[in-house]
Amino acid sequence: MFFQGITASAVLKSTVATFILVSAAQSVAAQTATGTDANAGASGSAYGERATATGPFSVAVGTDSQATGTDAVAVGGDDDGTGAQALAASTTAVGGESLAQQPGDSAFGWEAMAIGNRSTALGHQTTAAGAQSVAVGEDASATGISAIAIGGNNDADGDGVVDDGTGSNANGNDAVAIGAAASAQGNSTTALGGESIASGAGATAIGWQSNAVGAQAQAFGHQSTATGDLALAIGEDSRALSNNSTAIGNLSTADGIDALALGDQANAAGPSTTAVGGESNATTPGATALGWQARATGAMGTAVGHQSTASGGQSFAGGEDSVASGMNGIAIGNTALASGEDAVAIGGNRDGATGMQTIASGTSSTAVGGQSQATMAGATAIGWRAQATGVRAQAFGHLAIASGERATAVGENATASGATALAFGNLATASGANSVAIGNGATATRDNQVVVGTATNTYTLPGIASDESRDAQSGSVRLVTSDANGNLAVSDTDIGAFASIGQTLSAQGNSIAAQGAQIQRNRNDILDNRDGIAMAMALEVPYVPVDRQYAVSGGLGAFDGATAFAMSGAFRINANTQVDAGVTYGFDRQKVGGRVGVSYSW
C-alpha cells in the first residue's frame, strides 16, 4: 500500500483543518495561543498543549507541535512529547512526529520526514532526504537529489492484519523507485515494481523482483536481471550478466561481453555470442546459434536451423539437424554432417529419418549434393548420392563411386574401385589398380589397363599423321597390333626392316602392273570372243523355197552369259541358186558383225 500509516480520511481531515487554520491566521494580525503552555509568535497560531507557532503566519496544531518557519504549518501531536515539526519557511508537516525541515518541505503521515530542500514525504515513516525528492508509501525513502520513491513493503495476511515491512528506496540523484520494497540506489536509476532493484548509475529495473545492477543496465520482467554495464534483460527470469549483453525472452541468459540471447530459454554464454530462437544455445566465444534448439558450442561456430549443431571451432551448420563437428567444418542442408576437420558437406536428405545423410567425415573432405558422402581424408563427392570412400578419392556425378585410394570416377554411376584408377563416362568402371576406363560403359578390370570405349565405338585420331607427331618419334619405330578384343601391342619388328621390302615390292609392283595390263587385254579378248560366239549363234542363213523369191529371218544367241541379236535376208536367183546376207549385234561388248553368202543346190 502506497499510503501505509496515514488513511485517506485522516489526510482529508488534516488538510481541511490546515486550510481553516491558515485562513484564520492570515485573517488576523494578532498572535493566537490556545492550550496549556501553547506559544505563538507574531501573527502565529498555536493550538494544543505545548504547541509552538513562532514563525510569522505559522500554524501549529496538536500536542508538542512546532511551526517555526514563516508560513510554516505543523498539524499533529504525540503523547511522548514529539508532535509535528515544520521548521523552515513554507514547510508543512501533517501527522504525529512528522518532520518538514528545509524550506518548502512537505511531510504527511506518522513519522514522515521531509529533510531535503523542497522535498515531499507522504506515508508512515517515509523519508525524503534529497533536494526536491519525493517519497510516497510506508517506509519509502528518497535520499538522492530529485529522487522519487513510491510504494511500501506491506503485505495483507489472510486474517486482514497488515504487517509492516521495508518500503521503497530511492537513494541516487534523479532516482525513481516505485513499488513495494523497490530500490533505486544509483544516480538516474529507475526501479518500478515490487522488490525491484536498480543500483547501477542510470540503471532501469521494471517488474516484480527485477534487478538492474550494472551502469545503464535495463531489466524488464519478473525476476529479470541485468548485472553488466549497458546490459539489457527482457522477460521472465531473463538474465543479462555481462557488459553490453542482451537477453530477451523468458528464462533467456546472456552471460558474456556483447552476448545476445533472444528467445525462450535462449542461452548466450560466451563473449560476443549470439543465440536467437527458443532453447538456442551459444556457449563459446563468438559462437552464433539461430533457430529453435540450435547449438553453437565451438569457438566462433555458427549454427542456423532447428536443432542444428556447430561444435567444431569456426564451424558452420545450416539446416535442420545439420551438424558441423569438425574444426572449420561446414554442413549445409537438413541432416548434413561435416565431422572432419576442414570438411564441407552441402546437401539435404530427401528421404527423411530413414534416408542417407550428406556426410563429409574425412579431414578436408568435400561432399556436395543430396545424400553425397566423402568419408576419407581429402575425398571429394559431388552429385546426388555420389560417394568418395577412398583416401583423396574423387566422385563426380549421380551415384558415382570412387572407393580406391586416389581414384577418380566421373559420370553417372561411374565406378573407380582400384587404387589411382580413373573412370570417365556414364557406367564406366575402372576396377584394376592404376587402370583407366574412358567412355560410356567402358570397363577396365586389369591393373594398369587403359580402355577407351566399347566394341561399338569407332576411333578417330586426326593428329596421328601430322608432321609434329612424326617428328616426336625417335629410335626404332614399330608396328601396333591388335586382337579381336581390341587389345593393342607393338610388334618386335623394326619398321626400318620394311624399307628393302618396299623396294622389292615396288619392282614387283611394276611387273605386276605390266602383267596386269596384258591380263586385262586377254580378258577383253575373252569377253569379245564370248560376245562373238553369241553373235554367231544368233546369225542364221534364211532358206528361200523354190517357189519363192525372198526370205527373211531373225534370231537371238547366248553363250556363257553373253547375248546377241541378228537379222538375215535371202534372194533366189533361179531354181538352183540363192544369195543371202545378215547383220548381228552383241549386247555385252556392243560389237556389230555381218555375213554375205551364196547357196547353189541341184
Of 357, 360, 349, nearest to 315 by C-alpha is: 360
In this prediction, residue 27 has a pLDDT band, given cuts at 50, 70 and 90, of very low
- Say yes or no to pLDDT of 25 above 90: no
Please report which helix (H) or strand (E) contains residue 533, including its range.
helix 498-538
- Given a cut of 80, whether residue 19 has pLDDT beyond it is no
Q: What is the mean pLDDT of the chain?
A: 87
Cell of 300: 566462433
**Confidence tier at 162 by pLDDT (50, 70, 90):** very low
Domain with CATH 3.30.1300.30 in the chain: 486-602
User: Bigger pLDDT: 273 or 516?
Assistant: 273
pLDDT, tens digit, for every residue of 174-230?
888 888 888 888 888 999 998 999 999 999 999 999 999 999 999 999 999 999 999
Distant-in-sequence, close-in-space partners of 458: CB < 8 Å, separation ≥ 6: none
Average pLDDT (4-13) is 41
The model's confidence at residue 167, banded by pLDDT at 50, 70 and 90, is: low
Is the separation of the CB atoms in 268 and 253 below 8 Å? yes
**Paired sense of beta strands 450-452 and 204-206, if any:** unpaired
Please write down the HEC assignment for all residues of 86-114: ECCCCCEEECCCCEECCCCCEEECCCCEE
Would you state the pLDDT for residue 225? Answer: 97
546-592 pLDDT tens trace: 888 888 988 888 888 889 898 988 899 998 899 999 999 988 888 89
pLDDT at 161: 27
Given this model, what pLDDT does residue 500 score? 64
- HSE-CB at 368 with a 13 A cutoff on CA atoms is 7
Comparing 14-23, 101-110, 289-298, the range with the smallest average pLDDT is: 14-23
Q: Are the C-beta atoms of residues 220 and 233 closer than 8 Å to each other?
A: yes
How many other CB atoms are there within 10 angstroms of residue 164's CB atom? Answer: 15
Asked if residue 90 has pLDDT above 80, the reply is: yes
Fold of 486-602: Pantoate--beta-alanine Ligase; Chain: A,domain 2 (3.30.1300)
**What pLDDT was estimated at residue 474?**
82
Query: In this model, does residue 39 exceed pLDDT 90?
Result: yes
Burial label, 557 (beta-carbon count in 10 A; 0-12, 13-18, 19+): buried
What confidence score (pLDDT) does residue 125 get?
A: 92
Q: How far apart are CA 127 and CA 125, in angstroms?
A: 6
Mean pLDDT of 447-456: 94
pLDDT of amino acid 602: 81
Q: What is the arithmetic mean of pLDDT over 154-170? A: 42
Task: Give 502's pLDDT tier (boundaries 50, 70, 90).
Answer: low
Name the superfamily (CATH) of residues 396-452.
Serralysin-like metalloprotease, C-terminal (2.150.10.10)
Q: Between the CA of residue 409 and those of 348, 365, 467, what are the distances in Å?
A: 22, 16, 35
Q: What is the DSSP letter of 358?
A: P
Nearest Cα to Cα of residue 539 among 490, 488, 591: 591
> In the structure, what pLDDT confidence band is assigned to residue 5 with cuts at 50, 70 and 90?
very low
User: Regarding predicted confidence, which is higher, 29 or 534?
Assistant: 534
How confident is the model over 62-75, as a mean pLDDT?
95
pLDDT above 80 (res 152): no
Q: Quick: pLDDT tens for 398-443.
A: 999 999 999 999 999 999 999 999 999 999 999 999 999 999 999 9
3-state secondary structure of 9: helix
pLDDT for position 544? 86
Task: Note the pLDDT tens digit of each residue in 173-184.
Answer: 888 888 888 888
Cα-based angle 345, 351, 357 (whole degrees, multiple of 5): 25
| 20 pLDDT more than 90 | no
- In this model, does residue 494 exceed pLDDT 70? no
Q: What is the pLDDT of residue 496?
A: 64
- Tell me: pLDDT of 9 over 80: no
Predicted structure pTM score: 0.68
Mean pLDDT over 331-342 rounds to 96
Q: Can you list the positions of beta strands (E) in 460-561?
A: 478-482, 488-494, 550-559
The pLDDT score that the predictor gives to residue 538 is 81
Portions of the chain given CATH number 2.150.10.10: 396-452
- Flag whether pLDDT at 362 surpasses 60: yes
In this predicted model, what pLDDT tens digit does every residue of 287-336 receive, in sequence order? 999 999 999 999 999 999 999 999 999 999 999 999 999 999 999 999 99
Predicted confidence at residue 315, as pLDDT, reads 97
Distance CA 3, CA 24 (A): 29
Maximum average pLDDT range among 15-19, 35-39, 133-137, 327-331:
327-331
